[in-house]
Structure 1
C-alpha cells in the first residue's frame, strides 16, 4: 500500500506544503485540514510521522517533502493520539482516541481493532505506546494491553489498577533494562510490578507496588535510560529510582509545566514540558535545551539520524530546532481550523465560514475569520492576524457574492457583516452605518438585479428583520409581520427564480419553520407542519437550497421536502419525495442539501452523506466513516465547485472533498476536453469528458465506427470506465468520442488514445 507520496518543500523557515492537486481524478477524495498542531511525533527510515487529533502528515527528510496522512492513505480512523516506531524491527503503531490501532510492518498497514471492539466500559483512548521488539505495551485510559506483534494478538491486559479494582488511567509504561519489571505512570501515581514471571497476575492490583515517596497525583511520565528508571512529575521535576526510593535529579519545573513525556532518543532522555525541553544523559547530568516563549505547548521531541532535533507542539505544529535559539516551522497548506459552519462557492473559490451559533442560538465566539480554497489549488486564511480582516470580529457564518460590484458579503453572529474585495480589502458594516437593528446577520443572498438581501436574527419587537441594499447603495427595510414573534429570528435567506425570499426561522424554545416573502406585493406566508399551512416535514428546519430547476428544498430533523413551483409560493404546499414507499430520509436529521451540475442531490445528515438522482427515485451513494475517508458522519455543510464538480464536505471534524462526475452545464462545446489523454498503462480510473452541455448523449466508438459505449452527461461531464456493456475492457488503440445535443444543432468530436 502506498502510504506516502512526495511534494516539494516550498519554504525553509516556514514549510508550507499543499495537500492539494488541482487536477485530481474523478472518484478521488482529498483532505483539507490544518496542520499547525502536533501532539505526537515518531521517526523511522529518515521520515517523520507527525500528528494531532485534527490531522496527520509525514515529512520525508531525504526528499525534503511533506505529505498528508489520512484515511485516504489507508488509516483506519482520523483522530490519532500517539505514533511510535521501533527502527530495529521496522515496526510502527498508530494509536487512536477510540482505542483502535494501525500496525505498520515493513511499510504495510494492518488494522488491529481488538481494543476498539472490546467490551471494556468507558474510554479506550490510547495515551502512549512502548515497543520492545515483538511486544507493544499500549497505555490506555483503562489500563495497559500487551500485544504480540508477530501474531498480532493480545497477550494480556491489566485493568482497574487501583485499590478495590477501581479505574486508573495509564499515561506511560517502560520496562527496566533486564525487562523483568514494568513501571507505569498513572493517574494515581507511579507503579511497578514484576513482569513475565510465572504465577504473577498483573490484573490483580495487589501484585503492583504504588510508590508513596513520589507524587501520587502529578506523575505524568516514565522513561528508561542506561538501566535507570526516571519519572516526570508535573510542576515539580524529574526523579530517578534508587533502590526503592525516588530522588529528584535536580531538574525542577515551574508551577505551570506539565511533564508530558520522557522520550528516549539518541541515547538521551528528552524531557518535554510545555515551553521547556531538557536532555538527560545520566542521573547527575542533564541539560536545558531551551526555555522559550516561541511555543508553549511542547508535547514530544525526537532526534533524527543526523542529530537534528524535531519538536511536536500543540499550538505551532512541527518545529525544527536550528542553531542557537532559532526554529523552523513546517506545515501543509490548509485551512486555519477544522471548524466550519458554512461552505460557499464563488469565482473558482470555496469559502469556509468558521463561526456561527450553537444549538440554542448563542454565539460560538470563534475568532478564526474565514478561509478560502482558491483556484482549485491552495487555501488562504483571512483573519485579523494575516490580512486586513477587521479586528474583533468573530463568528462569521454565511457568505454571498455579488457579481455586479465584485464583492463578497460575509455575515456574522454578533458583529454585523463584512464586505470583501480581492485581494485584501475589507469593510465592516453594522447598526452604525446601516438601517439594521441587530448585529446578527444570519442570511445573505443576491437577486438578479444585484440587490443584496440580508436576513437578521434577534431584531427588537416591531422592528424590521429583512433588509435589501441595491447596487447603488440604497437600503430598504422590511418588517414581515409584527404579530408573529418568529419574524424577528431569521436564520437564512434564499431567492428563487421568481424573486421570492425563502427564509427559515427559529429560536430556542419557540416554534420553528419557513417564511416566504415577496416585496413586490408585500406578500408573506408562514409554513409549518400543518397540512393547511404548508406541510413541512418538521418545524425544525436546518437548511434551504434551490436546485438547478428552481425547486426549493428544505432539510429538517425528519427528512426533506420540496416546493416544486415557486410561482405558487403563497398558495401551494411542500411535498416530500417518496423513496421505497416512505418520505426520503424521513427518519434522518438532514443538515444540508446541495444540487450538483447534473441536478443530483447531495444530502448531509448526522449519520453520513447521501447522493440521490435528480428526482430522488434512486440512491446513488451513501458515504460514512466506515466506507469512505470521511472524518465524521456529522455533515455540517456542502458546496460544489462549479468548474470541476468537486464536492466540498464540512464535517464537525474538518473539511474533505470528493471529485464527482457532474459539473455545471456549459453554454456550448467550445471548452470540451478529454482527460486523461492519452491513457497510459496501469491507469484504473475513469476517462472524463467535460465542458459539455447538460444531459447530452455521448457515444464512444472504435476507429471503424463500431459503438463501444454510450451515456448521457451529468451536467457538463460524462465519464467512461473503459469497459463496454458486455464487460469487455478497451484494448490498446484510438477511440472516437461523439457528443451531440438532442436536436443535433451542436456537436463535439474528440479522440482518446488508450495504451494498456
Structure 2
C-alpha cells in the first residue's frame, strides 16, 4: 500500500514539476530583478579561485572552478550603485567594493556584505570618489579625491584619514603604495611620501613632496622589483611617462603617446601598464615582454585593469567586452552576465514579454547608446553607428513603439535622425526630411518625439520645431504618408515628448515647453480633413480648462477611458472626455487623506510617468520620490518604492512598462533599468488557468500566483475534502495567495483544489496545487 501511494505522489509531483519548467525565468511576486549592463568593466581582482569584476553599475564574479557567474547589485545585497574599484584582500579573504560616491561594501568569504558609509556620510565637501585600493595585511588604503582613508578590513571600521595637502588641505590622490620604509601617494600635484615609523600620518607636517618628480599629475605609483615606479600624465605631445627610482635617481622607463590609465603589479613578478588603447607587460628588469592591442587581431583592448593568475592567464576589465580571459595560446573568452548595453534607460515599450528600451537625449550629438531589446529573458543590442547622412549616428533615441499587429516591427523616434524602422531585429529604414514628410528643424535634424499605433495599425508621429508647421504625421498601413498642419494651433515652436491614442481614437500630444495638451480627432478618415477636430488644453491663456501646474509631463488612459495626467504639481484626471471638442471637459485633482489631513494626490511631486496595470491600478513615477502604486481610483496608496526602502536604483523615474502577462513592472531610472514582480495582470476573455509556483516547496515563503483569469474572478481554494481554506478576488487577470488559511495558518502538505468563476457566474474553471511542507 505504501509503495502504491508513493508511486502516485511521484507521478503527481512529476506532472507539477513539468508544468512549472516553462516558467523558470519568472520571478516570485514581490521580488526585484536588475537589468543592468555588465560589459562595461572598470576594475578586476582575484582570490580563492574567483575573479571579481566591477562594472559601472554593479559587480559580478566568475568562479574558475565551475565557470559559474554570479551577479552582485543593489537588488541582491550591495548597498549602492556605480562602483569604481574592487579589491580582494588575501590576508582575510575579504573583498572591498568602493563606489564613486565614497560608499564602501565589504564582502566576506561567507558572502555576507557589510556596508561602511563613513566616507559617503562624512562632512567632506566635494567629490568623495575612491580611485584606488592598496592592501597591506588587514588594512586597505583608499586613495580618494580628498586624501587617503585607512580601512581595517578585520574590524570593518575606518581607522584613520590623511589630509596631506598644504596646511592639511584636500589632495586628489590617485594611488598609494609602500616600501619597507615609506608610504607613497601619487596625486594630481606630485608624489608625496611619509615615513611608516611616524606616530601620526594624519599630520600633514609628516608628509613631503618628492621634488625630483615635480608637481605634476601622477596617475599611479607601485613598488616593484625593489624599485619605486610612478606614471605621470602629461599635456605635452610627448605623452605620458613612466619613471623608476634607482639608487635615489629617477630614470625614464618609457614615454608613450597613448594616455596611461594606470600601472599595477601582477603576480609572477610582472608589471602591467594599462593605456587608453592597449596593454604593455614588463618583467622584473623592466624589459618589455608583451604589447597587446587586440585580443584576436581585430577586437581592440580597452582595458581599465588587468590581473594575472597562477596559470599565466590574463583577466582584463574591458570597457566594452566585460571580463576577458586571455592567453596568447588560446582564443579570448568574453565573460559578462546578460544585460542591456547601457544603464541609460529613457523610454520603454512592452507587449507581452517583448521589451524595447531607448536611452534618450533631447540633443543631436549626445547619448549615442545602443537600442536594446529584451525577449524571452535575453537582451539584444543594436548599434547606433550607421551611415546616417545627417549626423553619422542614430543619436538621441527618445521614443519606441511596438506594432501591436506585428510585434516584430518596431519604430524608434530619434532627436537627431528622424524615425527608424526595425523588423525582426534588423534595421529597415530611416525616415527623415529627405525621404518622407517628416520635416526638419531649419537646416537641422528631423526630431521625432512621439510614436504611436492606432487600433487599425496606422503609425502616428510628431516632429518638433518643423519648418513647414506640419507637426503631426501618419504612416498608413499601405506605407503612404499623410501630414497635418493646424494653422494657429500648432507650429514650428512646438516640442512634443509624450502621446497616447485613446479608445475613441483621439490623439493626445503633450508639449512641455508650453505646458499644454493638443487633442486631435481625425474622425477615422485620415485623408479627409474636413471632419477633423483639434483643441488645445492648458497653458496660461486656456479658457476651456484650468490644469494645475506649469508643465504636463506624462499621460495615460485607464481601463474606464479616463485620462490621467502627470504634472509638476501632481495628478490631474479627465473623468469624461466625450465633450472635449465642445469645451465640455473638467480637470479634476484627486484628494487623499494623509495622516489625518486631506491633500492633493502627489501635489508636491513632479510626475514623470504613468502606467495602468491589469487591475486598473495606477503606477506613478516621479522625479524625486520614486514610484507610487495607487488603487484604481487613486485614493489609496498600495505601495511606495524609493531608493531608500527598496532596490530601486534612483528616485528619478523616467518611464514605466508592464508585462501584462506576468505582472512584472519595469522602471526606467536615470541610473538604470530595474523591475518588480507586481500582483496584477491583464484579465482574459476566457480562462487559461496557471498556478505558480506549483508544486510549492517547503522553503517557499512568498506569494502564489493564480494567473490566466477573467476580470474580477472569484477564487476559492479547498482541501481534498472540499473545505474552503481561502477565498479572494482577482486583480485583473491574477489572484494571489500566501499559502495560508483564512485563519492565517500555513496549509499542510497535500493537493488543494482551486475553483475560479467569473463575476456573473457564466465562466468557471478548476485547477490543483500541490504543497510539499
TM-score (norm 1): 0.90
Equivalents in 2 of 1:279, 1:726: separation in Å?
69
* 1:429 aligns to 2:447 (yes or no): no
> Where does residue 51 of structure 1 map in the other structure?
54
Please point out which of 591, 602, 622 is paired with 1:578. 591
> Where does residue 14 of structure 2 map in the other structure?
none
Query: Any conservation in 1 of the 2:388–2:394 contact (CA below 8 Å)?
Result: no
* Cα shift at 1:247: 3.0
* 1:695 aligns to 2:712 (yes or no): yes
> Where does residue 561 of structure 1 map in the other structure?
572
Equivalents in 1 of 2:725, 2:271: separation in Å?
66
Deviations 1:320-343 (A, max 9, x none): 222259533223322122222210
* 1:444 aligns to 2:451 (yes or no): yes
Query: Any conservation in 1 of the 2:46–2:307 contact (CA below 8 Å)?
Result: yes
* Cα shift at 1:171: 1.1
Please point out which of 661, 665, 677 is paired with 2:679. 661
Any idea what SS the aligned residue of 1:114 has?
coil
> Where does residue 193 of structure 2 map in the other structure?
192
Please point out which of 587, 602, 610 is paired with 2:619. 602
Q: Superposition pairs for residues 105-184 of structure 1, below 5 Å?
A: 105-107=108-110, 108-159=112-163, 161-176=164-179, 178=180, 180-184=181-185
> Where does residue 246 of structure 1 map in the other structure?
250
Query: Any conservation in 2 of the 1:34–1:336 contact (CA below 8 Å)?
Result: yes
Distance 1:382 1:314, change over 3 A: closer
> Where does residue 205 of structure 1 map in the other structure?
204
Equivalents in 2 of 1:228, 1:446: separation in Å?
67
Please point out which of 624, 627, 632 is paired with 2:642. 624
Distance 1:401 1:137, change over 3 A: closer
Equivalents in 1 of 2:580, 2:641: separation in Å?
34
CA RMSD of aligned residues (A): 2.6
Query: Any conservation in 2 of the 1:240–1:283 contact (CA below 8 Å)?
Result: no
Query: Any conservation in 2 of the 1:388–1:424 contact (CA below 8 Å)?
Result: no
* Cα shift at 1:136: 1.6
Any idea what SS the aligned residue of 1:39 has?
strand
Q: Superposition pairs for residues 226-375 of structure 1, below 5 Å?
A: 226-234=225-233, 235-242=239-246, 244-248=248-252, 251-292=253-294, 294-295=299-300, 297-323=302-328, 327-346=332-351, 348-357=353-362, 362-375=363-376
> Where does residue 5 of structure 1 map in the other structure?
none
Equivalents in 2 of 1:702, 1:616: separation in Å?
37
Query: Any conservation in 2 of the 1:500–1:566 contact (CA below 8 Å)?
Result: no
* Cα shift at 1:313: 2.2
Any idea what SS the aligned residue of 1:397 has?
strand
> Where does residue 749 of structure 1 map in the other structure?
766
Query: Any conservation in 2 of the 1:556–1:590 contact (CA below 8 Å)?
Result: yes
Query: Any conservation in 2 of the 1:225–1:264 contact (CA below 8 Å)?
Result: no
Please point out which of 644, 656, 659 is paired with 2:662. 644
Equivalents in 2 of 1:145, 1:369: separation in Å?
38
Equivalents in 2 of 1:253, 1:121: separation in Å?
36
Query: Any conservation in 2 of the 1:59–1:67 contact (CA below 8 Å)?
Result: yes
Question: Where does structure 2 lack aligned partners over 5 or more consecutive residues?
Answer: 1-22, 234-238, 441-445, 524-530
> Where does residue 396 of structure 2 map in the other structure?
395
> Where does residue 225 of structure 1 map in the other structure?
224
* Cα shift at 1:489: 3.2
Equivalents in 1 of 2:417, 2:240: separation in Å?
44
Deviations 1:490-525 (A, max 9, x none): 333311111211111143xxx321111212343222
> Where does residue 10 of structure 2 map in the other structure?
none
Distance 1:389 1:615, change over 3 A: farther
Query: Any conservation in 2 of the 1:692–1:716 contact (CA below 8 Å)?
Result: yes
> Where does residue 453 of structure 1 map in the other structure?
460
Query: Any conservation in 2 of the 1:553–1:560 contact (CA below 8 Å)?
Result: yes
Equivalents in 2 of 1:704, 1:624: separation in Å?
45
Equivalents in 1 of 2:768, 2:117: separation in Å?
48
TM-score (norm 2): 0.88
Equivalents in 1 of 2:424, 2:155: separation in Å?
58
Equivalents in 2 of 1:389, 1:593: separation in Å?
36
Equivalents in 2 of 1:421, 1:142: separation in Å?
51
Query: Any conservation in 2 of the 1:295–1:316 contact (CA below 8 Å)?
Result: no
Any idea what SS the aligned residue of 2:554 has?
strand
Query: Any conservation in 2 of the 1:555–1:592 contact (CA below 8 Å)?
Result: yes
Any idea what SS the aligned residue of 1:736 has?
strand
Equivalents in 1 of 2:389, 2:667: separation in Å?
25
* Cα shift at 1:289: 4.6
Equivalents in 2 of 1:69, 1:569: separation in Å?
51
* Cα shift at 1:423: 4.6
Q: Superposition pairs for residues 36-75 of structure 1, below 5 Å?
A: 36-75=39-78
Query: Any conservation in 2 of the 1:190–1:210 contact (CA below 8 Å)?
Result: yes
* Cα shift at 1:424: 2.4
Q: How many residues align?
A: 720
Query: Any conservation in 1 of the 2:547–2:572 contact (CA below 8 Å)?
Result: yes
* 1:505 aligns to 2:520 (yes or no): no
> Where does residue 380 of structure 2 map in the other structure?
380
Distance 1:136 1:196, change over 3 A: farther
* Cα shift at 1:593: 0.7
Equivalents in 2 of 1:732, 1:294: separation in Å?
56
Any idea what SS the aligned residue of 2:119 has?
helix
Deviations 1:98-150 (A, max 9, x none): 11111122232111111211112211111111222221211111111112223
* Cα shift at 1:474: 4.4
Distance 1:60 1:194, change over 3 A: same
* Cα shift at 1:687: 1.2
Any idea what SS the aligned residue of 2:213 has?
coil
* Cα shift at 1:208: 0.6
Equivalents in 1 of 2:447, 2:114: separation in Å?
49
Distance 1:386 1:656, change over 3 A: farther
Query: Any conservation in 1 of the 2:318–2:324 contact (CA below 8 Å)?
Result: yes
Equivalents in 2 of 1:449, 1:315: separation in Å?
42
Query: Any conservation in 1 of the 2:40–2:320 contact (CA below 8 Å)?
Result: yes
Equivalents in 1 of 2:405, 2:94: separation in Å?
59
Deviations 1:168-212 (A, max 9, x none): 111111222x3x5211111111111012533xx323322112101
> Where does residue 523 of structure 1 map in the other structure?
533
Question: Which piece of structure 1 moves more, 730-739 or 671-680?
Answer: 730-739
Question: Where does structure 1 lack aligned partners over 5 or more consecutive residues?
Answer: 1-19
Deviations 1:714-749 (A, max 9, x none): 111111111234332222222221211112111121
Any idea what SS the aligned residue of 1:213 has?
helix
Equivalents in 2 of 1:466, 1:437: separation in Å?
10
Equivalents in 1 of 2:276, 2:142: separation in Å?
24
Distance 1:194 1:425, change over 3 A: closer
Question: Which piece of structure 1 moves more, 299-308 or 228-237?
Answer: 228-237
Equivalents in 2 of 1:575, 1:242: separation in Å?
79
Distance 1:168 1:345, change over 3 A: same
Equivalents in 2 of 1:101, 1:472: separation in Å?
58
Distance 1:195 1:291, change over 3 A: same
Equivalents in 1 of 2:480, 2:345: separation in Å?
32
* Cα shift at 1:632: 1.6
* Cα shift at 1:603: 1.1
Query: Any conservation in 2 of the 1:220–1:260 contact (CA below 8 Å)?
Result: yes
> Where does residue 4 of structure 2 map in the other structure?
none
Deviations 1:678-728 (A, max 9, x none): 111211221111111122121222222322222211111111111234332
